[in-house]
Amino acid sequence: MDWWKDAVFYQIYPRSFKDHNNDGVGDLKGIVEKLDYLSWLGVDVVWLSPFFKSPMEDFGYDISDYKDVDPLFGTINDFDELVDEIHRRGMKIIIDQVYNHTSDKHPWFIESKSSRNNPKADWYIWKDPKPNGDPPNNWISLFSGENPQSAWEWDDNRKQYYLHLFGKEQPDLNWRNGEVKRKIFESMKFWLDRGVDGFRFDAASHYYKDPSFQDALKGPQVKKTLFHSARDEYYWDRFSGRPETLLAVEEIKRFMNSYGDKVSIGEITSDMGLCLYLIFTISGRFDLAFNIDFMEKLSLNAKKVRELSENVNTFFGERAWPSYVLGNHDNYRIINRLTNGMKVGENEKKLIAKLAATLLLTVRGTPFVYYGEEIGMEDTEVPYDKIVDPWGKALWPRKGRDVCRTPMQWNGEKHAGFSEVTPWLPINSNKAHVNVENEKKDPRSILNFYRSLLKLRKSHVALRRGAMHFIDAPDDIICYTRNISKEKIVVLLNFGSVPKRVNLSTHGKVLLGSHRGIGEDFYDQDVEPFESVVIDVSK
């Protein structure tokens, strides 16, 4: 039951995982090539970001055919093969579903914009201008940079505006139209029939908009995202977390239940943080929602991190199952975020990556690993003329999202073993030492640490299902227990750069640690700078 509570998910950004046909962009056959690596690593579920037909304005999050594979990535047969190969290795596969919007090149939109009275005229959100010609309201595009960009784009043919919460090439679908909804469910059916084990629903909190289309309120408090763009100045409640959206999610859930044990994961973004994740994941809705709030607030401040995870733990309690993520294709890499502004050497960086990994894989909730995190990949410098991310262009001179989407580093060769030709985004110059081949050989590498953590989760039910309790500890130290029936595990993380004494008041045996050997005794000892250690204290 609820296999996804025990599973570790691994996100693949298909453009950047492995390029099989050597055109500079990753593809489905490339992923098949690397499945043995994923099964060696010990992940349970592979999540693929979009590989559907798309003009690639937002690199696949702008879909022009929900039921086909873009030739850049391969064919539908390649996809079927990928599903089989994943299942053959005892893993599962989930894929993205992007139903807030389509591409403006989708035949539905092309028809919709052709006139005001065509059969699909109402499939998108069209509004008349204000009497002075202005857009119907003040909603802004979530891809705005420093300056707000309207979420409305003028169409000279219909003499109306259409809504696009993201880029102007991504018109929002009208979920209030029954035909649209029917098509969406048809597309889900298409992929479920091909054997996928679940979906990640993109921008799922935005499906229904406030039918009054009133202006959004502006607020000074509004949540600060990593990118601090103009979108943070407006409240999101006119289009995020509407009650109709929750009802639609319940319908999705009922539909997926008819296929048995599938998993549904919502990308929920709002200015209401945790609260909305919970609302979207209480029984009968999504199984999981990404805890983006946690990811964005994660720092090396032990007190704050304890507060964050303790909040999630208490708030979700028995009501819903939390999830954790350190990074994804929309955010800077975890090492960069944690060490921002610090002077750190390679060794400290490695320890900090292990600290984050230990946290991710031992707190109570389902963990998601972003490709490359397991080898300690960092943000890659992308010069202005190489920026391709539409939001990145708006954010410039600040970093956009390209920096975390660069090719996976398989080895130290020219193109890092990703491709034989120059890839679509530059490869990080640290590829010489940060790569799979190197790290596989090094018992103290981040990669082998991840692998051991994954093994540990598999062999200790307390780490997957056990209750979590935080224990007061010296400054900079996070200490919590995970326990279930007779199994009790203590996790100690030193978020600071000086050793701290910790007395467990019971003898324990080290299960895994960045500084200690497996099986060593732990009782009253110094926890070293940036050390992580997992200790068995079962009686």
Three-state DSSP class for residue 288: strand
Total chain residues near ligand GLC (CB under 6 A) = 9
Nearer to ligand GLC, 404 or 462 (CB): 404
Is residue 13 at the binding interface for ligand GLC, with CB under 6 A as the rule?
A: no
Find, among 303, 318, 239, the residue nearest to 276 by Cα: 239
Tell the smallest beta-carbon distance from residue 297 to ligand GLC (Å): 18
Is residue 293 at the binding interface for ligand GLC, with CB under 6 A as the rule?
A: no
DSSP state of 171: P
Nearer to ligand GLC, 366 or 438 (CB): 366
Nearer to ligand GLC, 330 or 378 (CB): 330
The active-site residue, picked from 57, 96, 267, 379, is 267
Q: Please, what is the angle between helix 243-257 and helix 274-281, to 10°? A: 40
Of residues 170 through 189, those in contact with ligand GLC by CB under 6 A are none
* Pure H helices in 460-531: 461-465
Lookup result for tokens 């080898």: 375
The Cα 73–Cα 50 span in angstroms is 10
Of positions 44, 169, 293, 330, contacts ligand GLC by CB under 6 A: 330
CA torsion sign, 351 to 352 to 353 to 355? Answer: positive
Is residue 425 at the binding interface for ligand GLC, with CB under 6 A as the rule?
A: no
Of positions 4, 9, 10, 61, contacts ligand GLC by CB under 6 A: 61
Lookup result for tokens 């209030």: 176
Angle, alpha carbons 5-11-13 (nearest 5°): 160
Is residue 268 at the binding interface for ligand GLC, with CB under 6 A as the rule?
A: no
Of positions 51, 139, 166, 290, contacts ligand GLC by CB under 6 A: 166
Asked if residue 371 lies in contact with residue 14, where contact means CB atoms within 8 angstroms, the answer is no
Of positions 58, 373, 374, 439, contacts ligand GLC by CB under 6 A: 58
Of positions 196, 203, 302, 359, contacts ligand GLC by CB under 6 A: 203
Is residue 9 at the binding interface for ligand GLC, with CB under 6 A as the rule?
A: no
Tell the smallest beta-carbon distance from residue 62 to ligand GLC (Å): 7
Is residue 402 at the binding interface for ligand GLC, with CB under 6 A as the rule?
A: no
Of residues 342 through 381, those in contact with ligand GLC by CB under 6 A are none
Of residues 90 through 129, those in contact with ligand GLC by CB under 6 A are 98
* Pair of tokens at residue 391: 């939001």
Nearer to ligand GLC, 165 or 491 (CB): 165
Torsion of CA 63, 64, 67, 68, to 10 degrees: -100
Asked if residue 11 lies in contact with residue 44, where contact means CB atoms within 8 angstroms, the answer is no
Tell the smallest beta-carbon distance from residue 101 to ligand GLC (Å): 7
Nearer to ligand GLC, 63 or 462 (CB): 63
Minimal CB distance to ligand GLC: which residue?
A: 61
Is residue 329 at the binding interface for ligand GLC, with CB under 6 A as the rule?
A: yes
Return the number of other C-beta atoms located less than 10 Å from residue 306's C-beta.
20
Is residue 267 among the annotated active site residues? yes
- Residue 287 CB contacts under 8 Å (≥ 6 apart), including other chains: 2, 4, 198, 263, 264, 265, 281, 321
Find, among 51, 29, 45, the residue nearest to 93 by Cα: 45
Burial of 243 (0-12, 13-18, 19+ CB in 10 A): exposed
Lookup result for tokens 């080290």: 510
Binding-site ranges for ligand GLC (CB under 6 A): 58, 61, 98, 166, 202-203, 267, 329-330
Catalytic center residues: 202, 267
